[in-house]
Structure 1
Amino acid sequence: MQRTMKSRSQKNLEVVNQLSIQLPTAEAPLAGEDSDVETSADVKQRTVVLKRKPGGSLGISIKGGTETQIVISKILTGMPADETGELFVGDAIIQVNDISTQGKTHDEVVEMLRSESSQVKLTVRHVEEITPFLKRKSSESKGESPFERHRSRDRESSAGRTGKAQSEVSERESRPDINDDKWTTVRKIQLPMAYISTYLEGTDIVRSNAFEVRSVDGKSSGIVHCEDEKTYKQWLDYIHKHIQALNHKSIKLSNKYLSLCEQISYIGWVDQLIDETERAEGSDKWQPRFLILKGADICLFENPPLNSEDLNRCVYLYKCYDTAVKLVNSANRLDKRENTIWLETGGDTALPIRHYFAFETKFMMTQFEGSFNKCIYSSVSAMQTRTFACSYEGRPCGIVFDMKQGISLYDIPTKSYVWQYRFRDLHSSTDDGIMTFELVFKDERSLAENKLERKVVECDQLMTLVFNMHAFFLAKIVAADPDFLKKNPLT
């Protein structure tokens, strides 16, 4: 259901992680009418007692330790933890048998869990932000939709609460408003990983002083109309900042449990322009995509991943160093949407694969560009070298990009290097977009008057080769001058 509400008879309240839509009590739905109000308690500590089977384990895996809180990362089917039905992936273990886990190492907590007692009492608290990036419980249904899993997890996170706690929550949330009984809350939208749009759905037409917010489970705020442009811009700014702050918190918390090569550098929404030949009949030409930069991967989803298995359900998955991001100026936009980019990748073909995306704000686009460049620097620095099969003067060769050695050509039949140059020796490069790649190097040894040497190679993966060369150049520049991209953003 979609509801249009005018700001003169509506009040929006923004708290730490949710947006509440309120109407004057006289205009609010009566009891029994559809108001879309959710009742959810703040996450509280729960106590769960596990009964250990003789000679068996509890059936949980944990991550964290010392400065990072201990969390459950996996629950094994059929084991004591699974049989209780009261423990969930993403639960932080606060105490084991009434002994605090704070400051203890991972191994120390493991030993606490391995106590010889037939019963182990755990005090836990659910940490929602990191759940999507941990292993899910193997007994969960693989057929559930993201919406169903989200609703299920909401129910799970409430497990173990006492009847008294639930009663207090019901009593507190049944009141129209704690501070003002003239207003009634008719809708609450959770802001972590929320999607906000000022466009008519699926189009490039901007709404007039109006916007829509959708939570991670697909719940909509309805179309929120503001009485003037000033109010409209203020609300957009407030909501955007809250969403970004919550997303940043989620990234920071999740990265504590991920290896260096898996670190998340960006999460957020973009809209993709779908070509007529690719979209289903009657579907929107602009469709939302959830974007994650994780390690060297660019991941695009139809819905935010709610667990680790969802991370494998990408609409698109590319390596950042095989990809180029090109900002689109106003003269070259495909329609009226602003803040647009082309995302190009070489793939396994000679011709690049191209996707056209739009960000809701210029700040979001700039933030993504910075994260993308950081992602390239980190991944290339870790990779150090990459070789592409090619042909040079009719001979099978490999062109090598190396952070220390620069650009070189390896002759396969003779197993020797034909030529080698530093990155800074590259004067220019051109390609035909199909197979031929020409590099011009400065070379004081050259007999040419201008001291330039021209090298021409042919490669079946031409665009991937070109994008990788750009990635290595970027990594070299950032390594020498970390602030270079702040002063000279790539376009």
Structure 2
Amino acid sequence: MSVTKSHHNLDVVHHGIVLISDENSTSRSSRLLLSKDELCIQVNDDGTAEPEEAKDILMENATRQVVIVKKPDSGFGLSIKGGSENAQNMPIVISKIFKGLPADECGELFIGDAIVEVNGISIEGQSHDEVVNMLKSSGDQVTLGVRHFTHMTPFLKPAQSLQPDSTLDQLFDGRSTRSNKAQSESRFSDSKWQQHIDGREKKWKTLTSLPLAMAYVTRYLWGTDNIRSNSFEVRAVDGRSSGIVHCEDTSALEQWIAHISKHILSLNHKSIKMSNKYLHQSEQISYIGWVNEYLNDDDQEELKIRWQPRFLILKGSDVCFFDVPPLNSEDLNKCVYLYKCYDVAVKQVPNTSPRRDKRDNCFLIETPIQIPNHYLSFESPSGFELFEQAYYRTVYNTVSQMQSRTFACNFEERPSGIVFDIKQGISLYDIPTKSYIWQYRFRDLQAVADDGKLCVQLSFTDDRSLNSDKIEVKDIECEDVVTVVFNLHSFVLAKIVSTDPDYLKSNRYVGNAED
């Protein structure tokens, strides 16, 4: 059941009763409350939860000794974050546990566990690199002293975000009331919600609230191309998960996804506006959002997943890939991949064409270095459309500011420079004579072909040509042939947009992966 209703005191825009399950398929009836900036999960307040919090404190203070034994040709299978850096003493926290590897198979380690000892040696005051070296030098077996903290999420923002380890375990934990006291004090719990069922009054308590800014909603099973039936999952920027939310029918599912996605987009737009106040005009952000990337075979073998969420940002002239959203200006410089928008090509993979698996809304970001070429997928067609239009607008703004680019080349065995100029078009500069030997408008360009290595062929319409078809073909040799071709496409696009501002509205797909 899902209902759209206004509750002015809580600013709820949508609410409903759902089933929420964890990765072990354990399900529990819950209520979702959606506001403009949070998704709140509530459970029935039956009064059975233990009132004291003493056991939580004891559990957090207790040190567990966990022995991990390496497999041949593998590591321990975990990643850590934290440490003493720049006068900040952060706990060393387990941020990733890789499926199928020793840390996962031992069954005694969890995302959020803090490591306090390595082989009986305290790591208090140690830096991240020092602890990594201790683990590496441990040989094939290591004994970790770990403690469980229920409030470690703030330390995991750079690492746990969007990993397939749901923090919703607390939904099925008798201690959930105590461990979520902080969340229960949120604005959603200012007054308890009540519902009359079978003549009885049913009370709800807030279990957790997920911020929607830069959150991620998906219908896919984690890391796969298998779509869930009438269910979805929301992952917050800090890595917390809603669990798998099961709706009663397709209509309710579509309503929830539409409402949540709408507010995520609205909050992301506000984040962009706030960030741009502190960024130079040439570094303005035009797009932020989640996309999934198809992993290569090596990644699949280790992680046993095929798709990895990436946070994509268009900033100034840059296309930036992040594992997790950057939360400050320093994080903006820590992207996984960085490309200039005019040095890459965006090509849609039509749903009717062969794809790598069953995921829809796929596209390629091709790079001059060939590897990596990024095979990506959005959750919906509208997601791709938003990114595509932002990308083409970014290319137009960047090329308009840049005006021209020149690439060294050889033409008819003479050292030359191929020049792309937003005003003058395409021309060839002969270095020995220091003069331009031919020039064409962008509109004269009929075809571009290249061998991906050294040669590019440009075909122009030329009324002065002696050829019967009035086509002049120019063969050029250059070292960065793919970069040259991608830049040419960017200049052509910018020129089209400059002469026809409505082009982006009427021609969504400039590139096609079948071309």
Output one character per residue of 1:419-476: Cα deviation in whole Å (capped at 9) or x when no partner. 1111111122222222211111122222222222111001111111111111001101
SS of the residue aligned with 2:242?
Answer: coil
Contact 2:343–2:483 (Cα < 8 Å) also in 1: yes
Partner of 2:463: 444
Which of 209, 218, 241 is residue 188 of structure 1 equivalent to? 209
SS in 2 for 1:10: strand
CA drift of 1:149 comes to 7.2
Equivalent position of 2:312 in the other structure: 291
TM-score, scaled relative to structure 1 = 0.69
- For residue 332 of structure 1, give the secondary structure of its aligned residue in structure 2: coil
Is contact 1:200-1:206 (8 Å) kept? yes
Distance 1:462 1:15, change over 3 A: same
Rounded to whole Å, the distance in 2 between the matches of 1:281 and 1:179 is 46
Give the equivalent residue in structure 1 for 2:155.
148
Between 1:192-201 and 1:436-445, the stretch displaced more is: 436-445
Cα distance, 1:22–1:420 mapped onto 2, change above 3 Å: same
In 2: Cα distance, 1:345 partner to 1:477 partner: 23
1:205 and 1:237 map into 2 onto residues whose CA distance is: 20
1:424 counterpart (423, 434, 443): 443
TM superposition shift of 1:487: 0.7
Q: Report the equivalent of 1:342.
A: 364
Q: One-letter code of the match for 1:263?
A: Q
What is the CA distance between 1:296 and its match in structure 2? 0.6
In the TM superposition, what is the alpha-carbon distance from 1:257 to its structure 2 partner? Answer: 2.2
Which amino acid in the other structure matches residue 195 of structure 1? Y
Query: Residue 325 of structure 1 aligns to a residue in which SS?
Result: strand
- 1:200 matched to 2:207? The reply is no
Deviations 1:332-378 (A, max 9, x none): 2110111110110114xxx5641101111111111000000001001
State the distance in 2 between where 1:386 and 1:449 align.
32
Distance 2:185 2:495 in 1: 60
SS in 2 for 1:277: helix
Aligned to 2:298, what secondary structure does the other structure show? coil
Distance in 1 of aligned mates of 2:186 and 2:452: 64
SS in 2 for 1:217: coil
Question: Which of 401, 406, 417 is the matching residue for 1:387?
Answer: 406
Q: 1:435 aligns with which of 447, 451, 454?
A: 454
**Percent identical residues:** 51
Q: Secondary structure at the match of 1:284?
A: coil
Does the 8 Å CA contact 2:293/2:310 hold for their aligned counterparts?
A: yes
Give the whole-Å Cα distance in 2 for the aligned partners of 1:174 and 1:477: 50
Aligned-partner SS, 1:182? strand
Shift in Å, 1:170: 7.8
In the alignment, the residues of structure 1 paired with residue 349 and residue 39 of structure 2 have an alpha-carbon distance, to the nearest angstrom, of: 33
Distance 1:206 1:426 in 2: 44
Q: Distance in 2 between matches of 1:269 and 1:453?
A: 44
Q: Which has the higher contact order (CA 8 A, sep 6+)?
A: 1
Aligned with 2:32 (options 2, 5, 12):
12
1:359 equivalent to 2:378? Answer: yes
Compared CA separation, residues 33 and 462, structure 1 to 2 (3 A): farther
In structure 2, the CA distance between the partners of 1:399 and 1:20, relative to structure 1 (3 Å rule), is same
Q: Is the 8 A contact 1:442 1:451 kept in 2?
A: yes
CA distance in 1 between partners of 2:307 and 2:346 (Å):
19
The Cα RMSD (Å) is: 3.1
Whether the aligned pair in 2 keeps the contact of 1:321 and 1:376 (CA below 8 Å) is yes
Call closer, same or farther: CA 1:423–1:234 in 2, change over 3 Å. Answer: same
CA displacement at 1:32 relative to structure 2: 5.3
Consecutive unaligned residues of structure 2, counting only runs of 5 or more, are: 1-20, 57-85, 88-126, 130-151, 159-180, 195-201
Number of equivalenced pairs = 370
